[in-house]
Amino acid sequence: MRTKSFIWGLLAGMGIFLIPIIGFFIYTTTVLGPELEKLTQELDPPKHLYTRLNETLTLVPVSGDSTSIALQLNVQSKPIIVNHWATWCKPCILEMESFERLHSRLGSEVEFYFLSNEPAETQKQLIDKKGWQLPFYHYSDSLPKDLSFKQLPTTYIIKNGVIYYKHVGKADWNSDVVVDFIRGLGN
Protein backbone atom coordinates (compact mmCIF):
# COMPACT_ATOMS: atom_id res chain seq x y z
CA MET A 1 0.00 0.00 0.00
CA ARG A 2 2.81 2.37 0.87
CA THR A 3 4.53 1.64 -2.43
CA LYS A 4 1.33 2.42 -4.28
CA SER A 5 0.94 5.73 -2.43
CA PHE A 6 4.58 6.53 -3.09
CA ILE A 7 4.19 5.90 -6.83
CA TRP A 8 1.03 8.05 -6.99
CA GLY A 9 2.78 10.81 -5.05
CA LEU A 10 5.79 10.61 -7.35
CA LEU A 11 3.58 10.79 -10.45
CA ALA A 12 1.62 13.74 -9.01
CA GLY A 13 4.86 15.56 -8.17
CA MET A 14 6.26 14.95 -11.65
CA GLY A 15 2.99 16.15 -13.16
CA ILE A 16 3.06 19.32 -11.09
CA PHE A 17 6.65 19.87 -12.20
CA LEU A 18 6.13 19.03 -15.90
CA ILE A 19 2.82 20.83 -16.53
CA PRO A 20 4.33 24.34 -16.17
CA ILE A 21 7.30 23.35 -18.34
CA ILE A 22 5.02 21.99 -21.06
CA GLY A 23 2.79 25.07 -20.75
CA PHE A 24 5.79 27.37 -21.09
CA PHE A 25 6.99 25.46 -24.16
CA ILE A 26 3.57 25.71 -25.82
CA TYR A 27 3.34 29.42 -24.98
CA THR A 28 6.77 30.25 -26.39
CA THR A 29 6.22 28.35 -29.63
CA THR A 30 2.67 29.49 -30.35
CA VAL A 31 2.46 32.98 -28.85
CA LEU A 32 6.02 34.27 -28.64
CA GLY A 33 7.31 32.43 -31.71
CA PRO A 34 5.63 34.68 -34.30
CA GLU A 35 6.63 37.80 -32.34
CA LEU A 36 10.27 36.68 -32.16
CA GLU A 37 10.27 35.90 -35.88
CA LYS A 38 8.87 39.38 -36.58
CA LEU A 39 11.60 40.96 -34.44
CA THR A 40 14.35 39.08 -36.26
CA GLN A 41 13.06 40.43 -39.57
CA GLU A 42 13.35 44.02 -38.38
CA LEU A 43 16.49 45.90 -39.17
CA ASP A 44 19.30 45.58 -36.65
CA PRO A 45 21.27 48.69 -35.72
CA PRO A 46 23.80 49.34 -38.48
CA LYS A 47 27.10 47.51 -38.43
CA HIS A 48 30.09 49.17 -40.05
CA LEU A 49 31.79 47.12 -42.75
CA TYR A 50 34.27 49.75 -43.96
CA THR A 51 34.92 48.00 -47.25
CA ARG A 52 36.54 50.37 -49.75
CA LEU A 53 35.10 50.34 -53.30
CA ASN A 54 37.00 51.76 -56.25
CA GLU A 55 34.80 50.36 -59.00
CA THR A 56 32.43 52.04 -61.40
CA LEU A 57 29.06 50.47 -62.17
CA THR A 58 27.52 50.88 -65.60
CA LEU A 59 23.74 51.13 -65.21
CA VAL A 60 20.86 51.69 -67.59
CA PRO A 61 17.73 53.39 -66.21
CA VAL A 62 14.60 51.24 -66.45
CA SER A 63 12.54 54.40 -67.00
CA GLY A 64 13.01 54.15 -70.76
CA ASP A 65 16.07 56.32 -71.22
CA SER A 66 18.61 53.94 -72.74
CA THR A 67 21.56 56.19 -71.92
CA SER A 68 23.77 54.35 -69.47
CA ILE A 69 25.21 56.05 -66.43
CA ALA A 70 28.55 55.38 -64.79
CA LEU A 71 28.15 55.23 -61.03
CA GLN A 72 31.56 55.88 -59.50
CA LEU A 73 31.19 54.50 -56.01
CA ASN A 74 34.30 56.13 -54.59
CA VAL A 75 33.45 59.76 -55.40
CA GLN A 76 29.87 60.05 -54.18
CA SER A 77 29.70 62.85 -51.62
CA LYS A 78 26.20 61.85 -50.48
CA PRO A 79 25.32 58.53 -48.92
CA ILE A 80 23.93 56.11 -51.47
CA ILE A 81 21.68 53.11 -51.08
CA VAL A 82 22.21 50.23 -53.48
CA ASN A 83 19.46 47.62 -53.38
CA HIS A 84 19.53 44.36 -55.32
CA TRP A 85 16.04 43.15 -56.10
CA ALA A 86 13.99 41.10 -58.59
CA THR A 87 10.40 41.12 -59.78
CA TRP A 88 9.88 37.52 -58.63
CA CYS A 89 11.25 38.21 -55.11
CA LYS A 90 8.35 38.67 -52.67
CA PRO A 91 10.48 40.15 -49.83
CA CYS A 92 11.94 42.62 -52.35
CA ILE A 93 8.47 43.75 -53.36
CA LEU A 94 7.29 43.96 -49.74
CA GLU A 95 10.13 46.25 -48.67
CA MET A 96 9.69 48.69 -51.58
CA GLU A 97 6.93 50.53 -49.71
CA SER A 98 9.37 51.39 -46.91
CA PHE A 99 11.93 52.51 -49.50
CA GLU A 100 9.27 54.76 -51.06
CA ARG A 101 8.65 56.36 -47.65
CA LEU A 102 12.40 56.68 -46.96
CA HIS A 103 12.91 58.27 -50.39
CA SER A 104 10.16 60.81 -49.64
CA ARG A 105 11.51 61.44 -46.15
CA LEU A 106 15.17 61.99 -47.06
CA GLY A 107 14.68 63.55 -50.48
CA SER A 108 17.97 64.74 -51.91
CA GLU A 109 20.05 63.76 -48.84
CA VAL A 110 20.64 60.28 -50.32
CA GLU A 111 20.98 58.76 -53.77
CA PHE A 112 19.08 55.55 -54.41
CA TYR A 113 19.94 52.80 -56.90
CA PHE A 114 17.64 49.80 -57.25
CA LEU A 115 19.47 47.22 -59.34
CA SER A 116 18.31 44.11 -61.17
CA ASN A 117 19.76 42.11 -64.02
CA GLU A 118 16.28 41.24 -65.25
CA PRO A 119 15.28 42.76 -68.59
CA ALA A 120 14.27 46.40 -68.23
CA GLU A 121 10.81 45.70 -69.68
CA THR A 122 10.14 42.99 -67.08
CA GLN A 123 11.08 45.41 -64.31
CA LYS A 124 9.11 48.27 -65.85
CA GLN A 125 5.88 46.26 -65.97
CA LEU A 126 5.94 45.64 -62.21
CA ILE A 127 7.19 49.14 -61.39
CA ASP A 128 4.35 50.70 -63.39
CA LYS A 129 1.79 48.31 -61.90
CA LYS A 130 2.88 49.18 -58.34
CA GLY A 131 3.29 52.90 -59.09
CA TRP A 132 6.77 53.04 -57.58
CA GLN A 133 8.64 56.32 -58.05
CA LEU A 134 12.12 55.03 -57.20
CA PRO A 135 15.18 55.04 -59.49
CA PHE A 136 15.44 51.52 -60.93
CA TYR A 137 18.36 50.38 -63.07
CA HIS A 138 19.31 47.41 -65.19
CA TYR A 139 22.86 46.12 -65.14
CA SER A 140 24.39 43.53 -67.40
CA ASP A 141 28.05 43.75 -66.40
CA SER A 142 29.34 41.68 -63.55
CA LEU A 143 29.17 43.38 -60.18
CA PRO A 144 32.19 44.19 -58.06
CA LYS A 145 32.91 41.37 -55.61
CA ASP A 146 32.07 43.56 -52.62
CA LEU A 147 28.65 44.42 -54.09
CA SER A 148 27.75 40.89 -55.09
CA PHE A 149 24.93 39.01 -53.40
CA LYS A 150 23.71 35.49 -52.79
CA GLN A 151 20.23 36.30 -51.54
CA LEU A 152 17.60 38.88 -52.40
CA PRO A 153 16.98 41.51 -51.32
CA THR A 154 20.47 42.72 -50.43
CA THR A 155 21.00 46.38 -49.58
CA TYR A 156 24.17 48.42 -49.09
CA ILE A 157 24.62 51.87 -47.59
CA ILE A 158 27.74 53.48 -49.06
CA LYS A 159 29.47 56.84 -48.85
CA ASN A 160 32.69 57.92 -50.58
CA GLY A 161 33.31 54.37 -51.73
CA VAL A 162 33.02 52.86 -48.25
CA ILE A 163 30.37 50.25 -47.49
CA TYR A 164 29.09 51.23 -44.06
CA TYR A 165 26.24 48.76 -43.90
CA LYS A 166 25.00 45.62 -45.64
CA HIS A 167 21.62 44.03 -44.97
CA VAL A 168 20.35 40.77 -46.45
CA GLY A 169 16.59 40.22 -46.41
CA LYS A 170 13.52 42.38 -46.05
CA ALA A 171 13.67 45.35 -43.69
CA ASP A 172 11.77 48.46 -42.66
CA TRP A 173 14.02 51.05 -44.28
CA ASN A 174 11.97 54.01 -43.10
CA SER A 175 12.80 53.40 -39.43
CA ASP A 176 14.32 56.17 -37.31
CA VAL A 177 17.43 54.01 -36.76
CA VAL A 178 18.12 53.94 -40.50
CA VAL A 179 17.32 57.62 -41.03
CA ASP A 180 19.61 58.67 -38.15
CA PHE A 181 22.38 56.42 -39.45
CA ILE A 182 22.14 57.83 -42.99
CA ARG A 183 21.96 61.42 -41.76
CA GLY A 184 25.01 60.73 -39.60
CA LEU A 185 26.92 59.69 -42.72
CA GLY A 186 25.88 62.88 -44.46
CA ASN A 187 27.82 65.01 -42.00
φ and ψ at residue 151, rounded to 5 degrees: -140, 145
Share of the chain above pLDDT 90, in %: 46
Per-residue pLDDT reduced to its tens digit, 94-147: 999 999 999 999 988 999 999 999 999 999 999 999 999 999 999 877 788 888
What is the pTM (predicted TM-score) of this model? 0.73
Angstrom CA distances, 132 to 58, 75, 95, 147, stand at 22, 28, 12, 24
